[in-house]
Structure formats: structure tokens, C-alpha cells
């Protein structure tokens, strides 16, 4: 089997890569375990030096890495450059903060001395998605490596070049051989890696199905997992909101990465008093977006990453309209080469429709009108997902009260949902469990060890 880099803007194959043989895969896992035994003993200050070098490698090669992302999965070049910069940021954040976060904590007890250590677990398998092909990996790798673990990356099959470039970043940053390795393997081989006695834990960002499969396999082997899965994030606009700002931000929040983001705003829950005004501005903002070649600097919306993703989104939209929703914008594949779907808005979405019940992973917004705050909260929570939420109101006390009741891993008041190395990131319900980023994320893959002395 081979892995192909296919440019979604042209649907042309760029390059193909061979799958690892079973013996090659075994050798990489063995090397990861062997490196772990020495890497865990390296002073954290030295690990930080390596991580700072990784940040410099990213910034020094930003155009190369950004172009690779754009060519493999269609991300606009400006967003790709920003992604590389964010990866450098997370490397620097953990290089600077991990020594303090992981410092042993003295805890009073009946002992003459008692404290808590944070020790690494071992090789960690990361199963990562294509939509943010650098960021998703670095937000795992930076804390895992700084904690003293080693990393094995099974990346999405459509971004093999990105996967190998990331491995190259850590090699160029002078991490020991075996600290970070890419495994070019199919999804069918993931279970064997989880089963391997040398692999200590696993993390996955991706679909519900993939997450449940990894969690089940790891659970059978009693291995720790962290899952960041799908989202159907509500974007709530109340009657006292700044409608102009909400609509402008909402357009960005829905169309970033051509709508292919787990934390993109997907269900727009609008108070009836401002719904029409919001939509006027929202539609204008979407119509003004430039759809085109993602390598061009002025492109706002590029192609979707794969043909099957476009077809799935189109089917969700068509079924919702057939069931009574109203198509306001878009809704038809663009007649041009490449995997292009335009910004799409569907109004009067109701329960039972795919755009209400399912995650829509692409440039399509579902509009749901509500009469009051209570109904807005009910609908926001009427989903199997719980990743992020955006809430718009001029009354901050009201917003904070509502934030307590919204079932999500994060609530952003008068802003779009985003990730930040300083803040924990993750979800509840079918959006997964565990946290990445901040001090919470680095402690997911450590042994929180009590030491007690008589």
C-alpha cells in the first residue's frame, strides 16, 4: 500500500509514499522505547533547549511548511503560515513553562516528608487528523516530549508529506533519534501499535468512530487515552448583542479552514429579535469572501480536503432542505476543477434534520431561530457533542450565568472559539475526554506519583 499526496485544488497526485512494513514498524516502536529510557533522564532544561530549537526550525521554514499544508489539504496559504507560527508558539510555551509545571509539589501529611512527582509514561501513540496537519501534532508533541515521553505519530493518510516534515523538524532540532517518529501505516494497523507492550498510552484527534475504536482498544490493554473528537458548536446571538460584530466574527468562525474545524461555529442560534439583521450582515460577509486557489494570498475559502467530504456535506444540506429548511446561499458544488464547495447558509433548521443533528464539516452554516434565552440554552445543549460554544450578549453577568449551563469544554463570550497554549482544550459528551494544552494537558501523560517518607 502507498500513501498519496493529492492536491484538492487540482485533484492531481503530487507524490506517493510507501507504507512501513511490519518489521519497519516494529523497529520504530523498539527505538521509541529505547530512546525513552534515556530521554526521561535528560534534565528538563535540556529538553527545553531542544524545544526552543524546534520553534526556530518552524519559523525558519515557515513558507516550506505552509506550502506543504496548502498542497496536501487545501488550507489557504495565509492560514497555513499562521498555523506554523502557532506551532512555534506552543513549543516555546512548553519550553518555558514545563520546568515549573512539572516541578515536584510538597504536600503536608503525616510523613516527615511527602511530595508529588510528575514522571513520564513512555512512548505515546498519536493518531492525528488532516485538517490542521501541523498544529494538531505539535499541541500533543510539545507537552509530551517536554514531560519526558517519546512520540509515535500515525497521521491522516492524505497528509504524509506533512507527517514526514514534522519528524524532520524534531530531527533538525537535535532531539535524540527515536524521540519523535512518523509511522506511515494504515488505520488498520493502529490496533497492533496500541497492543504493543512498549506503547504506554494513546491520544487521538478525529472522528467519533475512530475515537471509540482507539479508546476501546486501549481500554482492553488498560492504557491511558485522551480523545478530542467532533463538535457541533453553537454560536448564540442574543437580542442585546452587537449584531455587526457577531455577524463578522460568525462568518470567520464558520469559514475558517473552509469550515473544516471541530471548533468551527456550526449551529447559529439567533434570537428572533435580531435574526434578520444578523443574517443580512452574515450573508454579505460570506458573499464577499474570495473562493479560489489556496496558494493565492487573497483567497479566503479554498477547496475542501477530499471528494468524499464534499459529497457527505452536500448530502446533509440537500436532505435538510428536502425536510423543510430554506437555502439562503450556496448549496451546490462549484463548476470548476478541484474539490470546491461555496459558503452555504441554511435557515429554519429543526430537530431531525441532518444539519441540526449531525456535525457538518465544511463551509455550511445552520440557522436556528429562538424566542428567548432559555430556548437558546436548550438548543445549544441539544446535541451529542460538547466541544466549544460562542455566546454573544452585551450583559456580561448574564453571559457568565449562561456559561455555567452550557455543556461544552469551552465557552467564548463575544468572540470565536479558538485554542491557546495557555488554556485547556477539549470536550465532553461525544466530543471526547481529557484535555490538551496548558498545565492540564502536559499532566495527561505523566505518572502523578506520591513519595512519602516516614
**CA distances to 49, 94, 132, 306, 338 from 62, in Å:** 20, 20, 15, 24, 25
How many Å apart are CA 298 and CA 305, to the nearest integer? Answer: 19
How many Å apart are CA 82 and CA 70, to the nearest integer? Answer: 12
C-alpha cell at 7: 492536491
Q: Could you tell me which residues come within 8 angstroms of residue 397 by beta carbon, excluding any fewer than 6 positions away?
A: none
Choosing from 262, 358, 436, 444, the catalytic residue is 262
How many Å apart are CA 31 and CA 34, to the nearest integer? Answer: 5
Q: Could you tell me which residues come within 8 angstroms of residue 435 by beta carbon, excluding any fewer than 6 positions away?
A: 226, 409, 424, 425, 426, 441, 444
Q: Could you tell me which residues come within 8 angstroms of residue 90 by beta carbon, excluding any fewer than 6 positions away?
A: 135, 138, 139, 142, 421, 437
Strand partners, 239: none
**What is the three-class DSSP state of 450?**
strand
How many Å apart are CA 183 and CA 167, to the nearest integer? Answer: 10
Phi and psi angles of residue 151, each rounded to the nearest 5 degrees, phi first: -130, 140
User: Which secondary-structure segment (H or E) carries 59?
Assistant: helix 44-60
Question: DSSP class of residue 175?
Answer: P
Nearest to 423 by CA among 435, 407, 406: 435
**49 assigned to active site:** no
Residues 191, 195, 199, 203, CA torsion sign: positive
How many Å apart are CA 166 and CA 185, to the nearest integer? Answer: 16
Choosing from 72, 83, 228, 359, the catalytic residue is 228
Nearest to 380 by CA among 230, 231, 209: 231
**162 assigned to active site:** no
C-alpha cell at 287: 458573499
Nearest to 257 by CA among 307, 301, 205: 301
State the alpha helices, DSSP H only, in 160-301: 160-172, 190-195, 208-220, 243-255, 275-287
User: Which secondary-structure segment (H or E) carries 38?
Assistant: helix 22-39
Catalytic residues: 228, 262
Amino acid at each position: 500500500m502507498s500513501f498519496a499526496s493529492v492536491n484538492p485544488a487540482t485533484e492531481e497526485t503530487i507524490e506517493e509514499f510507501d507504507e512501513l512494513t511490519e518489521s519497519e514498524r516494529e523497529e520504530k516502536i523498539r527505538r521509541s522505547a529505547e530512546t525513552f529510557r534515556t530521554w526521561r533522564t535528560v534534565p528538563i532544561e535540556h529538553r527545553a533547549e531542544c524545544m526552543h530549537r524546534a520553534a526556530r526550525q518552524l519559523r525558519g521554514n515557515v513558507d516550506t511548511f505552509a506550502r506543504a499544508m496548502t498542497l496536501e489539504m487545501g488550507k489557504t496559504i495565509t492560514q497555513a503560515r499562521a498555523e506554523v507560527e502557532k506551532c512555534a508558539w506552543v513549543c516555546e510555551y512548553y519550553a518555558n513553562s514545563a520546568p515549573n509545571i512539572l516541578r515536584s509539589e510538597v504536600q503536608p501529611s503525616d510523613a516527615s516528608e511527602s511530595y508529588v512527582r510528575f514522571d513520564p509514561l513512555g512512548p505515546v501513540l498519536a493518531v492525528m487528523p488532516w485538517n490542521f496537519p501541523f498544529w494538531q501534532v505539535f499541541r500533543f508533541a510539545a507537552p509530551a516530549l517536554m514531560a519526558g515521553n517519546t512520540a509515535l505519530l500515525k497521521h491522516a493518510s492524505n497528509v504524509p508529506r506533512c507527517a514526514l516534515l514534522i519528524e524532520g523538524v524534531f530531527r533538525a532540532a537535535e532531539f535524540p533519534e527515536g524521540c519523535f517518529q512518523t509511522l506511515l501505516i494504515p488505520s488498520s494497523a493502529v490496533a497492533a501499535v496500541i497492543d504493543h507492550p512498549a506503547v504506554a498510552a494513546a491520544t487521538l484527534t478525529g472522528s467519533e468512530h475512530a475515537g471509540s475504536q482507539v479508546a476501546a482498544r486501549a481500554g482492553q490493554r488498560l492504557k491511558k487515552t485522551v480523545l478530542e473528537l467532533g463538535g457541533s458548536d453553537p454560536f448564540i446571538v442574543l437580542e442585546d448583542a452587537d449584531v455587526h460584530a457577531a455577524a463578522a466574527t460568525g462568518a470567520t468562525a464558520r469559514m475558517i479552514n473552509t469550515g473544516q474545524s471541530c471548533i468551527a461555529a456550526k449551529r447559529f442560534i439567533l434570537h428572533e429579535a435580531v435574526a434578520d439583521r444578523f443574517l443580512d450582515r452574515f450573508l454579505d460577509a460570506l458573499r464577499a469572501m474570495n473562493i479560489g486557489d489556496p496558494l493565492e494570498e487573497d483567497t479566503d475559502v479554498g477547496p475542501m480536503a477530499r471528494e468524499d467530504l464534499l459529497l457527505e456535506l452536500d448530502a446533509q444540506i440537500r436532505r435538510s432542505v428536502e425536510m423543510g429548511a430554506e437555502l439562503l446561499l450556496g448549496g451546490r458544488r462549484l463548476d470548476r476543477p478541484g474539490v470546491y464547495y461555496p459558503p452555504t447558509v441554511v435557515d429554519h433548521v429543526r430537530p431531525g434534520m441532518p444539519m441540526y443533528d449531525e456535525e457538518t464539516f465544511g463551509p455550511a452554516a445552520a440557522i436556528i431561530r429562538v424566542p428567548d434565552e432559555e430556548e437558546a440554552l436548550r438548543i445549544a445543549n441539544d446535541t451529542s457533542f460538547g466541544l466549544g460554544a460562542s455566546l454573544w450578549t452585551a450583559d456580561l453577568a448574564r453571559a457568565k450565568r449562561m456559561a455555567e449551563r452550557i455543556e461544552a469544554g469551552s465557552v467564548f463570550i463575544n468572540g470565536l472559539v479558538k485554542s491557546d497554549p495557555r488554556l485547556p482544550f477539549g470536550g465532553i459528551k461525544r466530543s471526547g475526554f481529557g484535555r490538551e494544552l496548558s498545565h492540564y494537558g502536559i499532566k495527561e501523560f505523566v505518572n502523578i506519583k506520591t513519595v512519602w517518607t516516614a
